[in-house]
Structure 1
Amino acid sequence: MPHSKAEMAQVAERRREMFRRRRAGESMESIAASFGVSRGTLAKDFTRAYRSYLEEEKTEADVWRRFQTDRYEALLAAVWPDALAGDVRANEQASKLIDKLCRLNGLDQPVRAEITGADGGPLALSSASPDELMTLISASSRLDHDNPTNTATSTPDEDDDEQEEDGEE
C-alpha cells in the first residue's frame, strides 16, 4: 500500500535531520533512539536516502551535461559553414569545440601511460624482507664517501677486472 503524502513528508524530514546529525558526528545509535527506531531501521533508511541523493546528483549532472552539450553544438553549428569553406580560424574554433564536446561527453580515447625503468627498459620490481630493506638503506648512506660503490647491492664489473690485470686504469 502506498504511503500517504503526510507519511512521505515525515520520512523526508527524518532523513534530512538524520543527515544533519550524522554530519555533526552523532552516532547512529543515538539518532535511532531519538526517532524511536532500531539502529538497523535507521541504517536502511540512511542507505535508501543516500542512494536517492546520489541518483538526484547524477540526474542533475546529466541535465547540466546536456545543457552544455547543446551550447557547444549551437556554437559549432555557427562556425561549421565557414570551417567547411576553408576559413582557418573557423576551422580552429570548430576543432576546439569538437574537443570540448568529446571531453564533456566522455568520448576521448583513454590516455595510455607507461612507467619504465632506466633508459626506457622494463621496470624492475621485487620484494624485500625488512632486513634486506635495512641493508639497502644503510648501503645507500655510504654514497657520500670517496668510493661510492655500494657493496651490498653492486657486483664488480668484469671490464674493471680486465683493466687491472692489464695494468690499465
Structure 2
Amino acid sequence: MGGKKTRTPAGTRRDAHRRERIRQALEHRISGATYGDIATQMRISRSTAYTYVQDALKEITREPAEQVRTLELQRYDALLTAHWATALHGDQAATDTCLKIMGRIELLHGVKPPTESDDTRRTSSLLATIAANAATLATTHTQE
C-alpha cells in the first residue's frame, strides 16, 4: 500500500482555497498590514495570519534554494568524476579531494559528515587501500 494519496475534488478545492488565502495574507503583509490587521481583514485568527504569511514566504524561498542545491550537486558531481579514477588508482591527493567533495555532497543532502573523532584518517586510509587494490586487480585483469 503506502502509495501516494489520491486527492479528492473536495480536497483539491480546499488546497486551492488555502493557497489563495495564503496569497491574500502575504499581499496584506507586503502592503504593511500587521498580523492583527490581516486577521481582522480576513476574519481569521492572528496565529493563522502569521502561519499563512510564513507559509507563503517559505514557498517563495523554497524553489530558488532547490535550484541552487541542484546546481551545486551537479558541480560537485563533475569534480568528483574528474578525480575519481585517479583516486581509484591509489593517488592519495585525489583520494583526499574525493573525500572532501563527498563531504560537501553529504552536507547538501543534510547528512553530517564524519569528524576527526569518527576516525576519518582511518577511513581515508582504507579507501586508499581499496583504490590501490582495485587498480591492481584492473591491471591484472587487463593483462590476462
TM-score by length of 1: 0.43
Higher-RCO chain (CA-CA 8 Å, sequence separation at least 6): 2
Per residue, is there more helix in 1 or in 2?
2
Q: TM-score, normalised by structure 2?
A: 0.49
